[in-house]
C-alpha cells in the first residue's frame, strides 16, 4: 500500500512532508512525490525510487516556503513505476492536487467519461481520475465550495481511498477523506497534519483523530470540520499515541528487522503484562470486556488472518484445541471472504493483524459481522481500522513494527493466543495445575528468547555457508509446522530465494522428489512429541544427500550428529515452543538476506501493510 501525508499550518510544509515520507517509506517505496501551495500556484516534484531520490531533486527545498502541502510514497497498483505515475496527480489546469492510497475500481468508466468531456490524462493511474473529477464538479456546481466538489467527486468513486487534496485557489484549506484506507488527523497548535499512520507525524504531535470510512476533514490552520459525504458533521474523539518516535527508530541496529527480532523478549513481556493471574492459574484481557464471556462459551473459533498472522493463527489452532477443547478452523482471509463459510450458532471469529489495516482481513471481519458472528481481534496498531471494527479486541502492545518482514508481531501473537488458551481452557476442563504451569512457562519465554538471540553470530555463519543455495525446504510437525511455514515466508520475502514450509509428514507425498545435494532442508526437531518422527524425516532426506540444518533442543547430541548444521534452543512446553523456534528462523532469514545484499527492511515488490486486495 502507499503512504500519504498532508500539512497545513504556520511552518514551511516541505521539510515536514519529506520527513513524514521518510518515516512512511516502509509502506511503499516504488516512487514518491510532493506538492506545495505557494501563493496562487502549486510547486510539485516527483521521482521514482526511494525517498532519497526525491530529496536529491529537491536540493533547493528551502526556497519553497509554502505552508500547505501534500506528499505520497507509492506501492504501484495501477500503472508502472514511472515519474508520470508517481503521486501527487493534478487536473487539466494544474490547480487541484491529490495524493491517494487505495484503489478506484470504476476508474475505467470514470476516465472514459472524463476524457469524453475533454479531460487530458497524463498517467496510467486510477488516482488521476480524482483531480479531474473534482475539476468537473467545479464546473458543474460553481456555487458550491471546494469541500462540496470533493464530496461530489467521492460519491462517484467505487473502491477504497485515503486522500489529501490542495487547490491553488484555496491557499488556506487542506481536505482529507477516507474509505477503507487508514487515515489519521494530527492536531498541532495552529497546524494540522494528515497521515496514513502515526509514524509520519509523531515528531510534531501525539494527539490524533482517526477518520472513519466515508468521512471528510476540511482543515485550515486553526479550524477543523469533519463530516460524512452528505455533509452531516461527525463527532470524533481525540486519542494520544502511546509510543514514542524513538520506538519507531532503528536505534543502534543496522535494520529495523534486526532491532525488532532483538525486541522480541520485551515484546512478549509487554504482550503478557497484566494479563496473568498467577495464584488462580488464569489469564485475563481487559479489552474483551463482556465478550470474554462470549469467547468462553463459544462452540467454535474461526481464526482468519493473512501471511505471518495466519501462521500465528495456525499455532493457535493447536493450542486451543489441545488445551481448551474448542474446535478451531483457521482460514487465509483472502479465501475466507470469497468462499461460502457455513456459520453456526456459537461461532466466534478471531481476526489477527499486526497493522490492523490488511484489506482481506478487514473484509473477512466485515463478512463475519454481516452474518451476525461476534468478531474478536488481536491487533498491534492502536486505533487501526480492524481494531475499531471488531466487537472487542486484544492489543499486542509491542510498539511499531517497521520492518516489512513481521517478526516480533508473530511471537507476540502466539503469546496472546497461549494466554487466550488458558482463559478458555480454565473455563472448561483445564486444571489449575495445567493453567498455572502454562502461565509460568509463558513468563519464562522472554529469557529463553534472550538466550537464543545470543546465537545470532553462529546463525550468520550458517546463513553465509548456505548462500549458494537457491531452494530451501522448511519442515516441522504439529506446533512446528506453522513455524516451518513462517520460516519459509521470512526467507523468501526478504532474500527472494525459493522456500517452502511443509508438514514433515507430507515429505513422502511429493516434495521429497526435489531433495538432492543442492536442496537443503531446515528441520525443526525439538525434544517433543514429534521428535522421533522428525528424526526419521531427517534420515529420509540424508539418504538422498539433502543438506540438513536442524533447530534442536539444547543438549540433543543425536540430532547434532545427523544434521550438517544445528542451532540449539532452550526447552519449554511443546505448545509454547513456536515462540522460541521462530527466532533462529527469523535470524537465519535476516542474515541470509543481508549477506545476499537485499534491502531486508524494504524488500522489492512488498509493502508493510497490504491495504489493497
Ligand atoms: C509477513 O512478514 C508479511 N509482511 C505479511 O505476510 C504480513 O504478515 C501480512 O500482510 C499480514 O499483515 P497484518 O498482520 O498487518 O495483517
Q: Kindly list the distances between the CA atom of residue 114 and the CA atoms of 109, 111, 130, 531, 549, in Å, as whole numbers in the listed order.
A: 9, 5, 10, 65, 59
Q: Which of 146-150, 271-275, 292-296, 419-423 has the lowest mean pLDDT?
A: 292-296
| Ligand 1 atom 6 nearest Cα | 307
Number of structural domains found in the chain: 3
Q: Is the pLDDT of residue 353 over 80?
A: yes
Q: What is the DSSP letter of 104?
A: B
Pocket of ligand 1 (CB under 6 A): 306-309, 353-355, 358, 361, 404-406, 489, 493, 609-610
Q: Kindly list the distances between the CA atom of residue 575 and the CA atoms of 317, 323, 479, 585, 607, in Å, as whole numbers in the listed order.
A: 11, 9, 6, 18, 31
pLDDT score, position 1: 67
- Strand residue runs (E) in 370-410: 375-379, 392-395
- Residue 582 within any structural domain of the chain: yes
- Residue 465 within any structural domain of the chain: yes
- Residue 249 within any structural domain of the chain: no
Q: Tell me which residues are annotated as active site.
A: 2, 608
Q: Is the pLDDT of residue 134 over 90?
A: yes
Pocket test for ligand 1, best of 354, 385, 593 (most atoms within 8 A of CB): 354
Within this chain, do residues 261 and 229 fall inside the same structural domain, yes or no? no
Asked if the bond preceding 88 is cis, omega within 30° of 0, the reply is yes
CA separation for the pair 498, 494 (Å, rounded)? 11
Measure 380 CA to ligand 1 centroid, in angstroms: 12
pLDDT score, position 258: 97
Measure 298 CA to ligand 1 centroid, in angstroms: 27
Percent of the chain past pLDDT 70, that is, above it, reads 99
Q: Which of 448-462, 495-509, 596-610 has the lowest mean pLDDT?
A: 596-610
Question: Locate cell 526467507: which residue?
Answer: 491
- Could you report the per-residue pLDDT of 292-351, keeping only the tens digit for each? 888 888 999 999 999 999 999 999 999 999 999 999 999 999 999 889 899 999 999 999
Measure 613 CA to ligand 1 centroid, in angstroms: 13
- Could you report the per-residue pLDDT of 261-297, keeping only the tens digit for each? 999 999 999 999 999 999 999 999 988 878 888 888 8
Within this chain, do residues 207 and 284 fall inside the same structural domain, yes or no? no
Within this chain, do residues 437 and 478 fall inside the same structural domain, yes or no? no
Measure 305 CA to ligand 1 centroid, in angstroms: 9
Within this chain, do residues 325 and 377 fall inside the same structural domain, yes or no? yes
Within this chain, do residues 421 and 359 fall inside the same structural domain, yes or no? yes
Within this chain, do residues 348 and 495 fall inside the same structural domain, yes or no? no
Among candidate residues 450, 467, 482, the one where a domain is terminated: 450
Within this chain, do residues 127 and 7 fall inside the same structural domain, yes or no? yes
Q: What is the DSSP letter of 51?
A: H
| Ligand 1 atom 9 nearest Cα | 307
pLDDT score, position 82: 86
Q: Is the pLDDT of residue 77 over 90?
A: no
Within this chain, do residues 420 and 556 fall inside the same structural domain, yes or no? no
- Residue 250 within any structural domain of the chain: no
Within this chain, do residues 292 and 354 fall inside the same structural domain, yes or no? yes
Among candidate residues 450, 482, 507, the one where a domain is terminated: 450
- Residue 284 within any structural domain of the chain: yes
Q: Are 484 and 524 in contact (CB under 8 A)?
A: yes
Measure 609 CA to ligand 1 centroid, in angstroms: 6
CA separation for the pair 440, 292 (Å, rounded)? 22
Average pLDDT of the residues in 455-465: 97
Shortest-distance atom of ligand 1 to CA 386? 16
Q: Which of 80-94, 114-128, 323-337 has the lowest mean pLDDT?
A: 80-94
Q: How high is the mean pLDDT of the chain?
A: 94
- Residue 203 within any structural domain of the chain: yes
Pocket test for ligand 1, best of 598, 610, 612, 613 (most atoms within 8 A of CB): 610
Which domain CATH number covers 439? 3.40.50.10490
Which domain CATH number covers 193? 3.60.20.10
Shortest-distance atom of ligand 1 to CA 404? 4
| Ligand 1 atom 5 nearest Cα | 307
Model pTM?
Answer: 0.82
Owning domain of residue 512: 454-613
- Could you report the per-residue pLDDT of 162-217, keeping only the tens digit for each? 999 999 999 899 999 999 888 999 999 999 999 998 889 999 999 999 999 999 99
Interior/surface letters 128-150, b for 16+ CB within 10 angstroms, e for the rest: bbbbbbbbbbbeeeeeeebbebb
Within this chain, do residues 370 and 434 fall inside the same structural domain, yes or no? yes
- Residue 503 within any structural domain of the chain: yes
Within this chain, do residues 282 and 417 fall inside the same structural domain, yes or no? yes
Within this chain, do residues 486 and 433 fall inside the same structural domain, yes or no? no
Among candidate residues 212, 240, 268, the one where a domain is terminated: 240
Average pLDDT of the residues in 15-26: 88
- Cα angle for residues 268, 272, 274 (degrees, 5° grid): 145
Of the pLDDT bands very low, low, confident and very high (cuts 50, 70, 90), residue 562 is very high
Amino acid at each position: 500500500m502507499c503512504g500519504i501525508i498532508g500539512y497545513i499550518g504556520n511552518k514551511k510544509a516541505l521539510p515536514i512532508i519529506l520527513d513524514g515520507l521518510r518515516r512512511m517509506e516502509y509502506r511503499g517505496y516504488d516512487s514518491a512525490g510532493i506538492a506545495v501551495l505557494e501563493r496562487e500556484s502549486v510547486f510539485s516534484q516527483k521521482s521514482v525510487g526511494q525517498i532519497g531520490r526525491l530529496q536529491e531533486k529537491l536540493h533547493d527545498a528551502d526556497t519553497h516556503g509554502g505552508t500547505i502541502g501534500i506528499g505520497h510514497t507509492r506501492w504501484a497498483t495501477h500503472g508502472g513505476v514511472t515519474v508520470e505515475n508517481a503521486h501527487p496527480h493534478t487536473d487539466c489546469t494544474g490547480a487541484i492536487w491529490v495524493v491517494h492510497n487505495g484503489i478506484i475500481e470504476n476508474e475505467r468508466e470514470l476516465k472514459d467519461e472524463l476524457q469524453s468531456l475533454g479531460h487530458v490524462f497524463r498517467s496510467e493511474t486510477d488516482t488521476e481520475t480524482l483531480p479531474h473529477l473534482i475539476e468537473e464538479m467545479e464546473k458543474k456546481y460553481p456555487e458550491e465550495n471546494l469541500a462540496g466538489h470533493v464530496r461530489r467527486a467521492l460519491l462517484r468513486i467505487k473502491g477504497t481511498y485515503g486522500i489529501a487534496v490542495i487547490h491553488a485557489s484555496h491557499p488556506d484549506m487542506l481536505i482529507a477523506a477516507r474509505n477503507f484506507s487508514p487515515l489519521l488527523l494530527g492536531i498541532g497548535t495552529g497546524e494540522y497534519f494528515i497521515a496514513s499512520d502515526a509514524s509520519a507525524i509523531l515528531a510534531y504531535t501525539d494527539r490524533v483523530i482517526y477518520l472513519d470510512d466515508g468521512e471528510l476533514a476540511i482543515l485550515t490552520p486553526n479550524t477543523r470540520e469533519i463530516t460524512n459525504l452528505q455533509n452531516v458533521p461527525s463527532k470524533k474523539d481525540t486519542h494520544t499515541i502511546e509510543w514514542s518516535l524513538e520506538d519507531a527508530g532503528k536505534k543502534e541496529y543496522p535494520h529495523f528487522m534486526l532491532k525488532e527480532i532483538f525486541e522480541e523478549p520485551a515484546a512478549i513481556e509487554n504482550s503478557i503484562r497484566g494479563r496473568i493471574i498467577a495464584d488462580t492459574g488464569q489469564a485475563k484481557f481487559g479489552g474483551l470486556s463482556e465478550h470474554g464471556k462470549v469467547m468462553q462459551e463459544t462452540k467454535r473459533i474461526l481464526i482468519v488472518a493473512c501471511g505471518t498472522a495466519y501462521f500465528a493463527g495456525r499455532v493457535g489452532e493447536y493450542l486451543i484445541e489441545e488445551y481448551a477443547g474448542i474446535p478451531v478452523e483457521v482460514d487465509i482471509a483472502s479465501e475466507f471472504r470469497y468462499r461460502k463459510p457455513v456459520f453456526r450458532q456459537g461461532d466466534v471469529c478471531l481476526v489477527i493483524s499486526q497493522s490492523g489495516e490488511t484489506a482481506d482481513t478487514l473484509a473477512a471481519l466485515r463478512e463475519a459481522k454481516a452474518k451476525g458472528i461476534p468478531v474478536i481481534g488481536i491487533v498491534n496498531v492502536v486505533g487501526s481500522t480492524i481494531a475499531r471494527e471488531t466487537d472487542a479486541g486484544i492489543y499486542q502492545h509491542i510498539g511499531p513494527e517497521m520492518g516489512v518482514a513481521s517478526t516480533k508481531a508473530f511471537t507476540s501473537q502466539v503469546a496472546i493466543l497461549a494466554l487466550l488458551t488458558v482463559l478458555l481452557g480454565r473455563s472448561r476442563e483445564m486444571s489449575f495445575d495445567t493453567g498455572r504451569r502454562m502461565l509460568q512457562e509463558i513468563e519464562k519465554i522472554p529469557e529463553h528468547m534472550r538466550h537464543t538471540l545470543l546465537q545470532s553470530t553462529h546463525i550468520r555463519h550458517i546463513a553465509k555457508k548456505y548462500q549458494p543455495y537457491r531452494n530451501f525446504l522448511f519442515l516441522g510437525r504439529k506446533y512446528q509446522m506453522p513455524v516451518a511455514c513462517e520460516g519459509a515466508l521470512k526467507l523468501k520475502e526478504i532474500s527472494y530465494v525459493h522456500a517452502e514450509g511443509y508438514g514433515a509428514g507430507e515429505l513422502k507425498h511429493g516434495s521429497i522428489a526435489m531433495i538432492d545435494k543442492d536442496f537443503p532442508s531446515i528441520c525443526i526437531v525439538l525434544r517433543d512429541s514429534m521428535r522421533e518422527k522428525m528424526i526419521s524425516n531427517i534420515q529420509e532426506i540424508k539418504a538422498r544427500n539433502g543438506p540438513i540444518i536442524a533447530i534442536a533442543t539444547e543438549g540433543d547430541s543425536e540430532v547434532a550428529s545427523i544434521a550438517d548444521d544445528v542451532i540449539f534452543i532452550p526447552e519449554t512446553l511443546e505448545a509454547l515452543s513456536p515462540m522460541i523456534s521462530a527466532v533462529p528462523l527469523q535470524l537465519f532469514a535476516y542474515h541470509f538476506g543481508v549477506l545476499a545484499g537485499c534491502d531486508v527492511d524494504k524488500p522489492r515488490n512488498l509493502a508493510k501493510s497490504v491495504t489493497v486486495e
